Amino acid sequence: MTRLLHTGDTHIGYQQYHSPERRQDFLRAFETVIEDAIELDVDAVVHSGDLFQDRRPDLQDIQGVVSALRRLRDASIPFLAIVGNHEEKRDQQWLDLLADLDLTHRLGSDPYTVGDISIYGLDYVPPTERDELEYDFIPANTEHAVLVAHGLFEPFEIGDWDTERLLSESNISLDALLLGDNHEPGTRKIDDTWLMYPGSTERASATEREKRGYNIIRSSNGDIEISRRTIETRRFVFVDVELNSGQGFAYARDRVREYDHTDAVTIITIEGEGEQITPGPLEEIALEEGALIARVNDRRELDETTDDMDVSFADPDAAVREQLKQMDLSTVSRDLDQVIRDSAIADSNVRDYAHQSIEEALDEGLSSLQIDDKTGDGSSSSEPEQVDTSGDSSDDGSNQQLSMGDYL
């Protein structure tokens, strides 16, 4: 029996809510996964993209990853990975540097064999380039073959990648696609091929209410089996306030005080009718009761100002990303937006970075300065933002084993 730990979307370096503590949380979640892999003694760890939050991680983030991967290497467990859209560079990738340090193996069309499974990789590919893809892999003499890829694949609801075409044009039979990019865990099946997302290892958006975790892939008796394990992450406390006519701040305040906010990220969502509420005082109550971060998301204000937008301002970055997807922006424009908003470089260096990016685009023949005229939205990468109103008000991080039926 071969066992793989499948993870992805670790987004190390993401300083969510501009909080240094949240930045550490993303690294800590990755370290937890590595520690679990060693404790479980899996045969390999497979990472399906977006190891880092962006293409210019800080030294502290790189050092944290190197330290964790050294522990994995010392346990003789290989780390197999592909490049996601967040960390993708025009030249050498960070995975190449980690490979030079003998800490990772960058997957590609050549198989990496672990037990009875051959593992292939496909880095993130923008939608405008997928029609030209040739799914040509080097065959291997193993019982199973899996492909690790990064993107939003059909038949998942958020899918924009033609999975049936991939499977039909692939020169090898694939038992499973181990996917990244969608932060919500889940599986689907096309004929005899499983598609699976492990979800992100930390909550990159306030809409991600499910517990974070990873998948365990087993080959057993000629079949592929999947189970899910959750990990302990910082608690998110979701306070959902439904106001009736005549209710206002006092009612919302009492609802907030019903929860334990100690060291948590508190998201207060207000819906219904009732009086207008100023967010600041509500946030202060949660902070006074020990919350690390508090945010108020008054959906009623959004409903009153627009009828054609459906975004959440509990996470401003997520709201901005959602609206940028609707704009006709070139690749360079989107890159500059991400770098500036994510504080990937110092403010004093933004001008030089912009100048260099445009020069590189000109060297490439203006292609990255042009708007995508095939899709109409100019998007080459995005993070899905899905509204999930289910789930517990807090995350206790307990592990659980799920059968395949739990996914379907």
**Residues identified as active-site:** 86
Residue position matching structure tokens 């038949």? 155
| E strand map for 127-232 | 144-150, 176-180, 186-190, 193-197, 213-220, 223-230
Helices 59-74, 20-40: inter-axial angle, 10-degree rounding: 10
Q: Give Rg (Cα) of the chain.
A: 22
State the amino acid at position 371 in one-letter form.
I
* 348: exposed, middle or buried (Cβ count in 10 Å: 0-12, 13-18, 19+): exposed
Is the backbone of residue 258 left (phi > 0), alpha (psi -120 to 50) or beta? Answer: alpha
What lies within 8 Å, CB to CB, of 129 at 6+ separation is: none
Distance CA 92, CA 313 (A): 36
* 355: exposed, middle or buried (Cβ count in 10 Å: 0-12, 13-18, 19+): exposed
Going by the DSSP 8-state scheme, the letter that residue 10 receives in this structure is -
